[in-house]
Amino acid sequence: MSLITIWLAAITDIFWGDPNYRYHPVRIIGNAITFIEKKLRKYCLNDHALKIAGIYLTVLIVLGTYLAIYFLIAIINKYSHLFATFISIFLIYSFLALQSLVDAANDIYYSLKNEPIAQTRHKLAMIVGRDTQQLNEQQITKATVETVAENSVDGVIAPLFFLFIGGVPLMAAYKAINTLDSMVGYQNSHYKAIGWCSAKLDDIANYIPARLSLLFITASAILLKLDYKNAWKIGRRDCYQHKSPNSAWSEATVAGALNIQLGGGNYYHGIYVYKPTIGDDMNTINIEHIQQANHLIYGACAIALVSFTLIFLVLKFVF
């Protein structure tokens, strides 16, 4: 995998954001998940059968995605190396989500400033899972900052991590894992059995990238002259204050850098779900924290890209 290819794809994402069209690679993966899940549910009528079906679903989607991308690039490369490089750039660009994440947060930011709060709640509902109908400005802001922090891992840091390890096919396989988790990895009666394998694999896949986010976000806080000491402190202290073993690492580090408190309970489909708080309530959350979180994640993702590039060059030189 050429470093030029990776950097061109990353720059493309910054300038154009995530492409939004019917045949987006992640949408294709999502459609495949829906199709296979429906087929499996026709024959698996109890939890035990659904757990086994969950293994089949995970293997089919993840391995199928890896092989599809691997052979696609290999076949195209036989006829045109230049076109294969273009396809690789396009796929990497499609699997990165930094700019789309920042754009979504900025949309909430400007909506809070200029639009009725009901409209902002509706926009927030597009990017979070909690109920938004009764949220006030501060709660909307907190939800947005949490989303930016958490999705920096599975949207950028983890895809880059797997890209540098195994090229575009492994990056695509990671996105398949992440898409599976977002679609069937819920802990409710409908998905708990068939989604358990996807959820566990997502936890494993994000284990290292989530912990790297502590380093990258803290480094970003240094560059932005934010409270990097508190970022490191809270990131390490509250990294397990979440039901997921990975989600709180980036959230806690961002909370520490901004000296705010994130987390806490929320309503989901009308049911209150308790969650521990993350960070210390040193500053009152306000809408400017959305912009600060965006800048922090921009910096963290840039540092991740540079760090992975340097490690790649060192290993290439040594071996």
Tell me the chain's radius of gyration from C-alpha atoms.
Answer: 20
Q: What secondary structure letter does DSSP report for 186? A: -
Q: Which amino acid is at 181?
A: D
Total structural domains in the chain? 1
CA distances, 164 to each of 5, 33, 230, 235, 313 (Å): 11, 26, 30, 25, 11
Residue pair 207/245 in contact (Cβ under 8 Å)? The answer is yes
Number of residues written out for the chain: 319
Instruction: For the chain, 319 residues long, give each residue's pLDDT as a single digit of tens.
Output: 789 999 999 999 998 888 778 889 999 999 999 999 999 999 988 999 999 999 999 999 999 999 999 999 999 999 999 999 999 999 999 999 999 999 999 999 999 999 999 999 999 999 898 889 999 999 999 999 999 999 999 999 999 999 999 999 999 999 999 999 999 988 788 889 999 999 999 999 999 999 999 999 999 999 999 999 999 999 999 999 888 899 899 999 999 999 999 998 888 888 888 889 999 999 999 999 999 999 999 999 999 999 999 999 998 888 7
Q: What's the CA gap between 179 and 202, in Å, rounded?
A: 9
* Predicted local distance difference test score (pLDDT) of residue 317: 86
Task: Give the domain range for residue 299.
Answer: 3-318
* Predicted local distance difference test score (pLDDT) of residue 292: 97
Q: What's the CA gap between 114 and 111, in Å, rounded?
A: 5
* Predicted local distance difference test score (pLDDT) of residue 254: 98
Enumerate the H helices of the chain as residue ranges: 3-16, 25-43, 47-79, 81-95, 98-114, 117-125, 137-152, 158-184, 192-205, 207-223, 228-237, 247-258, 288-318
Cα-flanking dihedrals φ and ψ of residue 283, to 5°? Answer: -125, 140
* Predicted local distance difference test score (pLDDT) of residue 149: 96
Q: What's the CA gap between 166 and 205, in Å, rounded?
A: 13
* Predicted local distance difference test score (pLDDT) of residue 272: 87
